[in-house]
Structure 1
Amino acid sequence: MLSQLKLVDATLHRTETQTRMPFRFGIAVMTAAPHVFLQCRYEIDGTVVTGIAADGLLPKWFDKSPEKEAAQEIDEMLLVIRRAVGFAREVSAAAAFEFWQQVYQAQVKWAAEEGFPSLLAQFGVSMVERTLLDALARAEHCSLATLLRENRVGLDLAAIHPELAGHTPNEFLPEQPLAKIIARHTVGLSDPLTAADLTSENRIDDGLPQTLEDCIRFYGLYHFKLKVQGDVEGDLERLRSVTQVVTQQCGTNYAFTLDGNEQYRAFPRFVELWDRIQADASLKSFFEKLIFIEQPLYRDVALDPSIANISDWENSPPVIIDESDAELSALAQALELGYAGTSHKNCKGIMKAAAHRCLINHRNAIENTSRYQMSGEDLVNIGPVALLQDLAAQAALGNTSIERNGHHYYRGLSAFPKEFSQSMLQQHGDLYTAMDDGFARVNITGGELDLTSINAAPFGVGVEIPTDAFEKLSL
């Protein structure tokens, strides 16, 4: 018998954060962002349990409309959270997946009527979903991995992917969540690569590494995510510079992904970049360690068979979708076009991702291949909630190489009260380590993260997170 959930009440709190260095990706440069905490109290089989979710509100990812100001995008991110909470209040007691379905369907209808992008609208649903899963895991005294694998959420795989009819999550999800993951370090478009790139104006003296070469030495990094910007000549020049640093520091022990961030609007232009890479001896050798290419094409054309039929690209590298994964059917569409898979970020939804992982593993099994893949990606996740829940989900899904950038663009947990650092160091001493001033930072060692304590907690966090000191927003 599946546990039945009913939303009792909810609170939303906001605080402001600033990065230690600019993060340039796509058309955006991030130097600051609000961070919000959503707490929802659910009645679960007669007992009231609180679940929490958190995320940074990053403009120019959910909606990349160049004419919108950052403040407008932040307001819209808050609005989709509020609407999702409003729809959740209307759900009668239901099992987790059914509860999610009702909120999702209501949000889809509302977003279509209001003209909101699907990716943005579902961010609001994902925030509610995360509180739901946190509360359920706490109520059942188990981990997220157990909720998903044992299907205590009532996930109907066929409702998302019809070809999985008759199958259950335990056939495809890992028997145990991953105990460690590889931290795939983001190299932003404006990140300094070597000491020669530092000046008196951009140098940071905060105890953490700043250049790529220093980050590799400090964290023992060996997986990387490289950004491109849609300009073939500029991208080739940047890639040559990154290649030199990575090979000098790592030798042959490295792997990487290439993130297009929707910067190539014309498919032939991206093919030109790839052909130029293959024609360059040093880049061609470096690209033998490529894992995949992520969403090079803008979402409006990435799933258009007349424009982006990857199957017709002779000798193509593996390409996955990211921003295009906004509709439940997007992954199946992408696979038909020749894409190799999709990414997971918690902001895109966890139960949907579990179904996606099941489809990918199913396709690999029936075709006797390892071509199809799910990647773990980052949206500048930082603790004490968002990062932990993201890692818990990645471990449960079996995603081994996970993009991480919050450790690089933020100075640990210094954006939050010091008590948060103390709590994390006590509860998650494997994931965090203390800096000289007592604030906690993510403890990447040998290029990897230890998730032992993450997997032992209900949904990654395992401690109470006080939010009363932050600005309370209306819901």
Structure 2
Amino acid sequence: MLSELKLLDATLHRTDTQTRMPFRFGIAVMTAAPHVFLKCRYEIGGQVVTGIAAEGLLPRWFDKFPEKQADQEIDEMLQVIRQAVAFARQAAPAPAFDFWRQVYQAQVAWAAEQGFPSLLAQFGVTMVERTLLDALARAEQCNLATLLRENRVGLDLATIHPELKGRTPAEFLPAQPLTKIIARHTVGLSDPLTAADLTPENRIDDGLPQTLEDCIRAYGLRHFKLKAQGDVDLDLDRLRAVAQVITAHCGNNYAFTLDGNEQYREFPRFVELWDGIQANAALSAFFENLIFIEQPLHRSVALDPAIAHIADWENGPPVIIDESGAELSALEQALQLGYAGTSHKNCKGILKATAHRCLINHRNATENTNRYQMSGEDLVNIGPVALLQDLAAQAALGITSVERNGHHYFHGLTPFPQQISQLMLQQHGDLYTEMDNGFARVNITNGELNLASINAAPFGVGVEVPLDGFEELSLLRKNRM
């Protein structure tokens, strides 16, 4: 019998973080961002259990309206969290999936009334979802992979994908979570590639690698994520420079993805970039190791059959959606249009991603192909909670190569009290290693992350994270300005 959950109370804490170097992606450059922790106390099968979730509030991703100020976007991210918590308080006691559906459906209706973009609105739901999965794993004394594979959450796959009627997650998910993943290193649009790109003004002396070539040497990288900015000529120049560094240090032992970051609103314009790649001998050879292209078209047109002619692209590469994956039906829409799959980020939802992973694996098995893909993508995740929970989900879903960038743009766990670093080093000494200043940093060795301690924890995090000293925010709903 499935355990029922009831939300008893919740708290929300905030701290501010600064990057060690600017992260330029799409239309945005990030140098600082708030980081929030949501703790929810549930009654589960007669037990009272607390679950936690965390996320950096990164403007210009959930809602890409350039006219909005960053502070407004952050306020809206906080508002969707508050609203989801309010709906969770109102939800009737139910197994995890049914509880989640109550919150999800209420948030969908509210967001439509308020004019919030779906991706932004559902971010609030995912924060609640992560706390309930954490609490349920603790109550069930198992890890996230077991919760999902044994379907202790009560996930009805057919509710999201009707063609999976009568099927169960155990038929599609790995028998065991992955013990390691390949770290796919993000090369930001303004990241220095070689020592020649460093100047006295942009050089960082903090003990961590800064240039792409230094990161390859230090971490043993072999998977990469490259960024496009929507200008064909600039994109081709940047890709040539990046390709030269990667091949110089990795030979042919590399793979990569290209992130379009929604920078193209017309499909022919993006095809022009691809044709330019194929016309250049060095780039054409480099792109033989391409895994897929991610979301080149803006979300407003990416699922429009009149614009997204992916299926008609003769000899085109695999293309997946990312920012367009807000709605439950988005993956099926994308597959019908010729896309090869979708991405997973915890901020887009874990139960939804589980159903998507099952559909992708089902389609591959039915069609005897490996065409359909689910990628693991980042949102500058850092510990002590968000990164670990993301890795736990990627391991449970069997995603072998996952974009990782938080360790590159932040100086380890220095944004948080040193006590948190010590806890991570004690409990997650395979994932973290100590820096000279006593703080912890992510330990990437031979291009991989070790997930043993992640999988040993209920939902990635094996310690109780102290939130002393962080600002406690009101969870009362505030009217939208």
Q: TM-score range by the shorter chain?
A: over 0.9
SS of the aligned residue for 2:301 comes to helix
Give the Cα–Cα distance (whole angstroms) in 2 for the partners of residues 106 and 270 of structure 1.
Answer: 37
Question: C-alpha separation between the residues in 2 aligned to 1:462 and 1:127?
Answer: 19
Q: 2 CA distance for matches of 1:26 and 1:239?
A: 15
Match of 1:324 in 2: 324
Shift in Å, 1:175: 0.3
Take 1:203 and 1:409, find their aligned partners in 2: how far apart are those partners? 13
- What CA deviation, in whole Å up to 9, does each residue of 1:153-175 have, x standing for no partner? 00000000111101000000000
> Is 1:455 the equivalent of 2:452?
no
Deviation at 1:19, TM superposition (A): 0.1
Residue 371 of structure 2 aligns with an amino acid whose one-letter code is R
In 2, Cα distance between the equivalents of 1:309 and 1:357? 24
Q: Structure 2: how far apart are the matches of 1:238 and 1:380?
A: 22
Equivalent position of 2:479 in the other structure: none
Secondary structure of the corresponding residue to residue 303 of structure 1: coil
Tell me the percent identity: 82
SS state at 2:454 partner: helix
Shift of 1:55: 0.3
Pairing 1:363-374 to 2, within 5 Å after superposition: 363-374=363-374
Match for residue 118 of structure 2?
118
2:342 maps to which residue? 342
Aligned partner of 1:64 in structure 2 is: 64
Contact (CA 8 Å) 2:428, 2:462: kept in 1 or not? no
- One-letter identity of the residue aligned with 2:315: N
Letter in 1 for 2:191: D
Match of 1:107 in 2: 107
Work out whether residues 2 and 154 of structure 2, in 8 Å CA contact, stay in contact via their aligned partners in 1.
yes
Taking the aligned partners of 1:311 and 1:45, their CA distance within structure 2 comes to: 48
Spell out the pairing of 1:237-316 with structure 2 (5 A cutoff).
237-316=237-316
The size of the alignment, in residue pairs, is 475
What's 1:93 paired with? 93
2:140 is matched with 140
CA displacement, residues 5-52 of structure 1 (integer Å, 9 cap, x when unaligned): 000000000000000000000000000000000000000011100000
Q: Give the gaps of 5 or more residues in structure 1.
A: none
Note the C-alpha offset of 1:92.
1.4
Report the AA paired with residue 257 of structure 1: T
Whether 2:73 is the aligned partner of 1:73: answer yes
Are 1:407 and 2:410 an aligned pair? no
Matched AA of 1:344: H
**What is the identity, as a one-letter code, of the residue corresponding to 2:295?**
Q
Match of 1:31 in 2: 31
How far the C-alpha of 1:74 sits from its partner, in A, is: 0.1
RMSD value, Cα: 0.4
- The residue aligned with 1:185 is 185
Q: For 2:346, give the aligned amino acid.
A: N
Take 2:210 and 2:437, find their aligned partners in 1: how far apart are those partners?
Answer: 18
Partners of 1:429 and 1:164 in 2: CA distance: 40
Match of 1:168 in 2: 168
Q: Aligned partners of 2:178 and 2:299: how far apart in 1?
A: 31
Residue 468 of structure 1: how far off its partner (Å): 2.6
C-alpha distance in structure 1 between counterparts of 2:444 and 2:411, whole Å:
14
Counterpart amino acid of 1:275? D
| Separation in 1, partners of 2:99, 2:176 | 26
Deviation digits for residues 121-161 of structure 1, max 9, x if unmatched? 00000000000000000011000000000000000000001
**Matches of 2:148 and 2:38 in 1, distance apart?**
22
Shift of 1:466: 1.0
Answer whether contact 2:267 2:309 (CA < 8 A) is retained: no
Secondary structure (helix, strand or coil) at the match of 1:282 reads helix
**In 2, Cα distance between equivalents of 1:115 and 1:5:** 30
CA distance in 1, matches of 2:332, 2:92: 31
Following the alignment from structure 1 to structure 2, what is the Cα–Cα distance between the partners of residues 194 and 286?
Answer: 19
In the alignment, the residues of structure 1 paired with residue 312 and residue 238 of structure 2 have an alpha-carbon distance, to the nearest angstrom, of 28
Letter in 2 for 1:360: I
State the alpha-carbon separation in 2 of the partners of residues 16 and 306 from structure 1: 43
2:150 equivalent in structure 1: 150
Q: Is the 8 A contact 2:192 2:210 kept in 1?
A: yes
TM-score scaled by length of structure 2 = 0.99
User: What is the alpha-carbon distance in structure 2 between the residues aligned to residue 466 and residue 38 of structure 1?
Assistant: 12
Q: CA–CA distance in 1 between the matches of 2:11 and 2:257?
A: 38
Which one-letter code corresponds to 1:244 in the other structure?
Answer: Q
Runs of 5+ consecutive residues of structure 2 not aligned to the other structure: 476-481
Distance in 1 (CA, whole Å) between partners of 2:108 and 2:92 is: 19
Deviation, 1:426, is: 0.4
| Cα deviation, residue 462, structure 1 | 1.5
Partners of 2:275 and 2:170 lie apart in 1 by 42
Residue type of the partner of 1:421? S
What is the deviation of 1:72? Answer: 0.1
One-letter amino acid of the counterpart of residue 456, structure 2: A
Q: Distance in 1 between matches of 2:2 and 2:309?
A: 42
Whether the 8 Å contact between 2:38 and 2:53 is mirrored in structure 1 is yes
Q: What residue number does 1:352 align with?
A: 352
What residue identity is the alignment partner of 2:113? E
Structure-1-length-normalised TM-score: 1.00
Tell me the equivalent position of 2:390: 390
Q: Hey, what's the Cα distance between the residues in 2 that align with 1:312 and 1:212?
A: 36
1:381 partnered with 2:381: yes
The Cα of 1:309 is off from its aligned counterpart by 2.3
Secondary structure of 1:262 counterpart: coil
Paired residue secondary structure (1:402): strand
1:414-451 deviation digits (Å, cap 9, x = unpaired): 00000100000000000000001110000000000000
Q: Distance in 2 between matches of 1:83 and 1:468?
A: 24
Paired with 1:451 and 1:228, the residues of 2 have a C-alpha distance of: 31
SS in 2 for 1:9: strand
Q: Name the CA distance, whole Å, in 1 between partners of 2:238 and 2:92.
A: 53
1:127 matches 2:143? no
1:13 aligns with 2:13: yes
Distance 2:218 2:463 in 1: 29
CA drift at 1:193:
0.2
What is residue 229 of structure 1 aligned with on the other side? Answer: 229
1:258-312 per-position Cα deviation (integer Å, ceiling 9, x unaligned): 0000001111000000011011000000000000000000001000001002111
Task: Look up the SS of the partner of 2:270 in the other structure.
Answer: helix
In 2, Cα distance between equivalents of 1:297 and 1:116? 21
